[in-house]
Structures are given as structure tokens and as C-alpha cells.
Amino acid sequence: MDKILKQYPFTIQLSLQPLIRHLRQMAKSPSQGAPALAVDLEGILKRVPELNQPIADLKVLESRTVEMNQLLSTMFPPVFWDTESFASMAPFSMRPFFFSPTFRRLFLSPEGVIRTRRNLDQAKFNQGRVVRAYLFILNKFYNIQQHMDFPVVHIVSDPETGLDRHYQFHLDFRFMEVSAIKKPPEPSPEERQFILDNIAQPQVLKDLIPPDNFILSGFTVVQAVEVTHNQVVSALERELIDQDSIVTGTGFLRLQERLRTLFGKADLLAGISALQHDRLLLMNAGCCADHNCFFGDSRELSLNEIRGTLFDEAQKSEAIISIPDLPNETRPLPRLDEIIAEGIRSVLIAPLHYQGRLVGTFTLNSSRPHDFTVMDVFQLTQLQPLFSLAIKNALDEMDHKVQAIIKEKCTAIHPAVEWRFRQVAHDYLMRRQAGRQVDIEPIVFKNVYPVYGATDVRGSTDERNRAIQEDLREHLRLAREVVARAAEISPLPILDELIARINRLDRRLSIGLGTGDEYMVVSFLSKDVESIFDDLENLGPDVSQAVVAYRAKVDHTLGTVYQSRRKFEASVSKLNDRLAAYLDWEEGNLQSSFPHYFERHRTDGVDYTIYLGASLMEDGRFNRLYLKNLRLWQIMVACGLAWHTEQLKQELEFPLDTAHLILVQDSPLSIRFRYDERRFDVDGAYDIRHEIVRSRLDKAVVKGSGERLTQPGRVAIVYSQPTEMLETRRHLEYLRSEGFLNDEAERLELEEMPGVQGLRALRVGIDLQSKILSRRAGTIIN
């Protein structure tokens, strides 16, 4: 205590005597206090006589908590004990001797010292307290009354949130007294003027008014009051750091409540949108997460939709647009009538810029006309940088998520080998920081076993051509109908010639679809037929109706009929979705039993590549049993893919069949990650043979028969070594006994292909009615 008080030039005494006299006076007056208070007071003083004397050691008070509570309860009513921040401390001291729980929680260190940061440095803060002490002395002994506004803002880190909060301490000096050791002399007029001129310079006054001649005794009452305006702005700053406050409904509603407090409008509604490329995206709205006054139920507006409106004006002028009363607004706004119907009358539209680039807009809406003043516009101007930064961060986060999805779906590093990429990246960073060469290390996995399987939509090219052929002929039929109706009304020879050209193209397509036929037909119809539709429509309603029918069936994006192709593509897509989902489900189960590298591709069907081996494992753990299990798994999965195709046939607009192929290779190879292509590829000239075989197998035919190896409802397993055949036969015999397969395997020799000789195959039928297959493969349906 002595150490704390001796920091200042005045003699400071902590004393409860001013409070004791005050309580005795209260006890005498029934209108001010209860007479029993005097009895309690005297009893306290009798038990603790030290309270009648100046207190040099705070431990005296710390050991008398009950008595202190009784004495100070008149100033700090118990009803406010847990909600208000207040304390008592020696004059000009920063160590309270009595305080509420809230004050201690917010402001005190474990040692009991106030631990705030301030908006003034320590020297100015101490100078201000000395000046205030001089003001007490001048008021009492020199009849000089001066007021000092000392706006110290105390900044504390809230123990619950860890975020800054701003407070001002309101000081009550009723229980502080000033006394002089010897009576001060009366100052001359010149001295009084000198004092007035230097009242804020205590070092100048100390010779005329020696501080050691005065004693400041008693204590000061402190009440910490949160500065509402600053706190709201500070809260907005804190919450806007978190993108959730912008992109989530609950977060934005919290922001809106802050804004309502700041602007003093209980029904204020806010909306925020972000500019992404050529779209204005609704990030959030205070009325509903999916609805905004200017957006309606849409989540976005194109820039073309807002061109020429007040949104466009605000963006171009970089100024806040104020609309005092919407019904009287003559400038265009999106959905103006609907906005008025929703009860919105006055609006502020603020463009948001970050580093000179427009990133979005921020709107405030009120249900009262002329509700926003010039001061509101100024207030919103102060908030623009905060929301601009928040929008920029939200857009960056959105981009990160989009990139993560792209990485996950397209070029993500497979989890089975992610450990190796982490190692390489770490080594790369360490070398770069050490100033050494920074070429990233190659990633090569040696002695891994390749596993390949494919399920192709049989005849997809022919079926797609047939669909194109049907659409083109339908397109020609619609065109012929328009021209024929026009020729009936106006028999011009040129129309007969057009009909003849249409018929010739139709006969050509009826034979088959040739290379370039699609372009030729679409180009002819666009240039020679559709170009005269406006003239033909004037001939009468029959022609006009035919033109309407033509335009209704022609896809405006492709410029031709797209009905059969749409059905075919939808069927292929639906089948692919089912096959991919089943394959992913099976592979996920397999991954849990033993990690491996997996790639899946989908075209007209699905194919996959799996690599497994000791080098792929971070701990080098590998057992050939996993390889044998994987090859058995391949055949079971092929059966499941065939079963799903059969189950889906009745749901497809185009009935489709699939053929199934497996390549067995017992020799390990090496794979290398190609950084430029962001994918794995086989490494070395010898290992490239596997890639060549894999790329040409879909064209494989049975030797001497010309029959394609792959057939619907059957699975073909290609091999080159006798040991591979023997293992595969064991797997087939087991699966046949279990009910997956329905006949003996065929042993086939394949025709030679460019660069590929000596391949053989086993082919076996799949029991598509198998109950065990239905139970296993049907698990993922629904």
C-alpha cells in the first residue's frame, strides 16, 4: 500500500472516516437511514477499531470482509452486486480494496491490481491524476473552481469472449477530503493568474503550491460504464472477422441487432451482397436467409438486371444512396412495387470497396419514411470499411471452398498417399528456408501392383449416333411442315425447292449418320430455312403455328432438336451415377480393410485403377494376401455392377447394357506423380506396357472368331501368365459355388493388337438373379 501511494507527490491516506461520518448522519435522520444502522456501525467499529484510523495495510480490510460489506452496502446495494461494475480505492490509487464480482472479473489481475490498457500512455495518465488532485486543493483553499474532463477509456479483454471491451470509469469523490499541514498563504492576484495559466502543468505549480503540504484522505468510488457506441462498433469489428457473421443467418441476425442499437432503430433490416464476376450474390439478409427486399427469393442478380438502377449508380459513384421515401422515388430499383408492398419506405444503399475494387453492397431498410438522417449516412460511412473487409474475406473463403471441391472431385491427393506429399512439401520448405535448391522432390512409388477394371456401356457410340439421327430427322420434319404450309398458301417454286432439299437430307439420314451430317443439316436449316421464318409467318396463322411448334422443339443453345439425345444422355448419366456410387461404396469398404491408391473415371461407363504395395504405406506394411483379396473383390464388384445395370434397365428411357473387363498383372511396376498433369503415371519404358495393354483392351476380340471379348452379362478377365490364370480360376470356382456366376469359364485366346501379343482371357456369365448378389449389391440402393 505504501509503495502504491508514494508514486504521487501528495500525501495519500486511505481512510473510512468520511464514510463513517456519513453513515452516522444518515442514522440520525429517519428520512435518510434506519436508526438501527448506528447500532450496527458502532458495533463494527467496536469490533474493528482499526477502521477509525488511516489504513496503511490493505490486509486489515481483506480480513474483515463481512464488516466491509456491511459498511459499504449503502453505496453498493446488494441488488446490483452481481450486475454492476463498481469498486472503492484509495485516492488516486489503481488498487481497489473493495469491488463487485463483475469489476473483479473484468478489470483485476490475480494480484488485485487494475490491469486495463488505456487510450493514454502512462505518463499522461499520471499527469492527469496529479492535475485532478491540484483541482481539489485549489477549490478548497484558493477558491479556484475549474472542471477537468479526463476521458480515459479503459480497454479490457473480456474473460468470456477474449475480445476487447471499452469502459469509462466514473469517479465519485464524495468520500475524499483534502487537508493542509499548515494553512496555505493567500495568493496575490498575479499568483492567482499564474495558477490559472498553468493549472494543467503540475510541475510548474509545485513551488507555489507545495504538494507535501497537503493530505488527500478517504477513498474514491469507481463505477465502470461501458461506452455503448464504441462497444457496438467494436463488436461489429470483432464479429466481422468471422465469415460466419456474413454467410450464416444466425450470425447476420446478431450483426443486425448491433446495427439496430447503433442506429437507434428497433425495426431496421439489413442486407449484404457480394460481387462475384458478373453476378451480385445475396450473402445474407436480416429478414430471412433466402429472401432480400431487392433480390426476392433469388440468391443472385446479374449485373445486367441492375444496370441503370440505383444499385448501379451507387457502385459507379462510390457514394451511399439515400432513398427518403420509396413511393416517391423516380429512379429505377429492382422489384420496387414489391418492396413497397413489403412495408419498406426508406433505404440506404452503400457500395463496398476493397483496395479500390467493388466487392459488394450493403443496404439498410426502414419501415418509416424519412427515417435515415445525414448522421445515419455518416455513421454508415464509418462502417463501410468493416463490411468491405468482411465481404472480401467471405469471398476468399468461398473461393477456397470451391477450390477444395475441385481438388476433391478432380485433382485431390488421395488420402492413401497424402503422407508422402506432406513429407516432400516439408522438405521443400526446409530447403527453401535454408537457401538451398528449391526444386521439389519427385514422388515415385516402386514395386506397386496395378489393378484395373472397366465397365463399359455396350454400343454407346452406335446408340448415341442413332439418337442424333432421330433428332436431325425430327428437325427436318418440323422444317418441312413450316415450308409445306407456306407453299399451300403461296405456291412459290423456291418453297418447293426447299422442300426437295429437306427431303434429300432426310433420305440421306434414313440410311445412316455420316461424318459431318449433323453440321450440314443444322447449318442448312439455320441459314436457308429459319432465316425466312419472319416472312413466312406473315402468310397466315397455319404457318405461324408451325413456326411456333418448330421453335418449341428446337434447343436454342444447340440450334437443333435435342429430344432423343437428351433421353440417351440422361439414361447414360443415370446408369453412370448408379455404377459410380456402387463402385465407390465397395471401394470405401475395401479401403477400410487395407489402404490403397484408387482412381475412378467415368465416360460411357466407369473404369478404375488401384495401386497397392509396401512403398505406398508410410510404415511399409504390406502382405500379398491383400493383393489376392483385391483380385477376388474385383470379380465380385464386376458382378455387382452387372446386377445394378439389370435392375436399372426398366427405369431408363434408353435401355442400356454393360460389359465388364478385368486386367490381371502379377508383375509390380513403378508409378510417378506428374506435377504438370497432377496425376500418377507409370514410370519407365518397361512398365509402359501395362498402360498400352490397358488402353487397347476395349477393342480386344477373340482369336479366330472376330467376336468382341466383352459381352453384356459376362465378365472377362485378361491375363498373360499361367500363374495368373490359375489364381483367377480358383476365384471363379469359388464365386460360382457361392451363386455369383452361372456357368463354367471359357478359356479364350485374343487376337494380337498393335504392341500387344500373347494375351488370353477367361470369360464367365453372371447370375443376375442371384440372391446373394442381390443382398450384397443391393445394399446401396436407397
Residue ranges covered by each domain of the chain: 2-225, 230-404, 460-558
Residues above pLDDT 70, as percent of the chain: 88
Q: DSSP code of 283?
A: E
pLDDT one-digit tens code per residue, 437-453: 667 778 889 999 999 99
pLDDT of residue 410: 41
pLDDT one-digit tens code per residue, 389-425: 888 887 787 666 555 444 543 455 777 887 777 777 7
Coil, helix or strand at residue 687: coil
Q: Which helix (H) or strand (E) segment is 666 a member of?
A: none
Please tell me the distance from the alpha carbon of residue 499 to that of residue 481, in angstroms, as a whole number: 9
Please tell me the distance from the alpha carbon of residue 166 to that of residue 234, in angstroms, as a whole number: 8
- Is domain 230-404 in CATH 3.30.450.40, yes or no? yes
pLDDT one-digit tens code per residue, 544-595: 999 899 999 988 888 899 999 999 999 999 999 999 999 999 998 898 888 8
Other residues' Cβ atoms within 10 Å of the Cβ of residue 233: 18
Could you give the angle at which helices 17-28 and 36-47 cross, rounded to 10 degrees? 150
- Which is it for the CA torsion 252, 253, 256, 261, positive or negative? negative
- Which is it for the CA torsion 193, 194, 200, 205, positive or negative? negative
Query: Does 229 score more than 60 pLDDT?
Result: yes
643 contact partners, CB below 8 Å, separation of at least 6: 766, 768, 770, 773, 774, 777, 778
Backbone φ and ψ of 174, nearest 5°: -60, -30
Query: Does 295 score more than 70 pLDDT?
Result: no
Angle at 439 between CA 674 and CA 407, to 5 degrees: 40
Query: Does 3 score more than 80 pLDDT?
Result: no
Per-residue pLDDT averaged across 108-127, rounded?
80
pLDDT one-digit tens code per residue, 48-100: 888 888 887 777 777 777 778 778 777 777 777 777 888 888 887 878 888 88
Please tell me the distance from the alpha carbon of residue 353 to that of residue 317, in angstroms, as a whole number: 12
pLDDT of residue 329: 81
Q: Which helix (H) or strand (E) segment is 682 a member of?
A: strand 679-682
- Counting beta carbons within 10 angstroms of the beta carbon of residue 541, is it exposed (0 to 12), middle (13 to 18) or buried (19 or more)? exposed
480 contact partners, CB below 8 Å, separation of at least 6: 499, 502, 503, 506
Q: Give the closest residue to 664 by CA, choosing from 569, 732, 752.
A: 732
Concatenated DSSP letters for 646-658? HHHGGG-SS---E
pLDDT one-digit tens code per residue, 237-263: 878 877 667 777 778 888 888 888 788
The cell 528449391 sits on which residue? 438
pLDDT one-digit tens code per residue, 380-390: 988 888 888 88
Q: What is the pTM of this model?
A: 0.50
